[in-house]
Structure 1
Amino acid sequence: FAFDRAMLLELPQGSVTAQPAEFDKPAVFSGPLLRDLLISIEAAKVKTSLVAADGYTGYLMPEDMDGSDWILALSADGEPLGIGQQGPIWLINTRGEGETVGEDRRGSHVWAVVYMHVGE
């Protein structure tokens, strides 16, 4: 499957206010929820690896997705995330019991996402 920005914007959208270390102040991040994207390709309970423009790779296991909502942020405060602003896509968690919004686990907050591999 391949998704362009327009296709991602057609999926149900979510948003979260967070202040990652890379931002001076809190911002509202918005984009499709990862779970909705995975459901759209009938792959809801599988390992998902994400690759950044610089080659960095992180992953989420199904249990990670069960405990938190993950957003594929396309914009911050209504402005598209460019390569210099951690874009084009930034994976951010929106909640999880005992977690802080935007908290990273296992290096899974991949920014400048350019590729996702779904499944083993």
Structure 2
Amino acid sequence: MPGRCLKWVTMLLPALAMAEPLATPETSPLLSVSGEISVTNTGNEAHFDRGMLESLPRQSLSTSTVVTDGVNHFEGFLMRDLLEYLGTNGDTVVALALNDYRIEIPRDDFYAYDVLVADTMDGKRLTPRDKGPLWIVYPRDDHAELQDIRYDYRWVWQLHHLEIQ
């Protein structure tokens, strides 16, 4: 019987850890996430300010884009790391930009490729004037299949909200 209790406790610990709320943003949020998420800090949503986003594991990526010249160096966090951190469910991520651009992205993209949510390009912090403050960036130069217009539409700049469906 004690082994059975230990088994249940071991199984529940990850779920309990995911149920803890996020810290409250100390500055204006740059990104909000809603929908099928387990971890929240504002009602049923997760809001992140710059400091909170910068605390996620950092990654970098060098690639060309269809809207800039040459190869650019991006830094940020992997979208799949954010999805895992928030305990998301669902098969689709709806990305919304400041200019009301909206696109549905299959969740599988974020596990098949190292898709970055970039906050810097070529060492400079992204601003709304230059596609920021956040930009979904695919490693297009690393995968021939990503050099397709269907993926180009998924490069959401001025990202401010994600809805997990």
TM-score for the superposition, normalised by structure 2: 0.64
Whole-Å separation in 1 of the counterparts to 2:144 and 2:106:
18
**157, 161, 164: which one aligns with 1:111:** 157
Task: Name the SS for the 1:99 alignment partner.
Answer: helix
- Greater shift in the superposed pair: 45-54 or 103-112: 103-112
User: Per-residue displacement from partner, 1:33-54 (whole Å, max 9, x unpaired)?
Assistant: 0000111111166311110111
User: In the aligned structure 2, how far is the partner of 1:102 from the partner of 1:69?
Assistant: 17
RMSD: 2.3
| Structure-1 residue corresponding to 2:99 | 54
Partner of 2:25: none
Q: Which runs of 5+ in 1 are unaligned?
A: none
Q: Report the count of equivalent residues.
A: 119
Q: Are the aligned partners of 2:59 and 2:75 in contact in 1 as well (CA < 8 Å)?
A: yes
| Counterpart for residue 88 of structure 2 | 43
Hey, which of these two has a bigger chunk of helix by percent? Answer: 2
Aligned counterpart for 2:121 among listed residues 62, 76, 97: 76
Note if contact 2:76-2:120 (Cα within 8 Å) is conserved in structure 1: yes
The CA distance in 2 between the partners of 1:30 and 1:7, in whole Å, is 15
CA distance in 2, matches of 1:28, 1:76: 6
Q: 1:34 aligns with which of 70, 74, 79?
A: 79
- The correspondence of residues 92-111 of structure 1 with structure 2, limited to 5 A, is 92-94=137-139, 97-100=143-146, 105=151, 107-111=153-157
Residue 6 of structure 1: aligned partner: 51
Give the secondary structure class of the aligned counterpart of 2:108: helix
Stretches (4+) displaced over 4 A: 100-104
Secondary structure in structure 1 of the residue aligned to 2:144: coil
Structure 2 unaligned residues grouped into runs of 5+ = 1-45
Q: Which has the larger radius of gyration?
A: 2
Instruction: Name the stretch that deviates more: 99-108 or 41-50.
Output: 99-108
Residue 6 of structure 1 and its aligned partner are, at CA, apart by: 0.8
1-side partners of 2:70 and 2:83: how far apart?
A: 31
> Normalising by the residue count of structure 1, what TM-score does the alignment of the two structures yield?
0.85
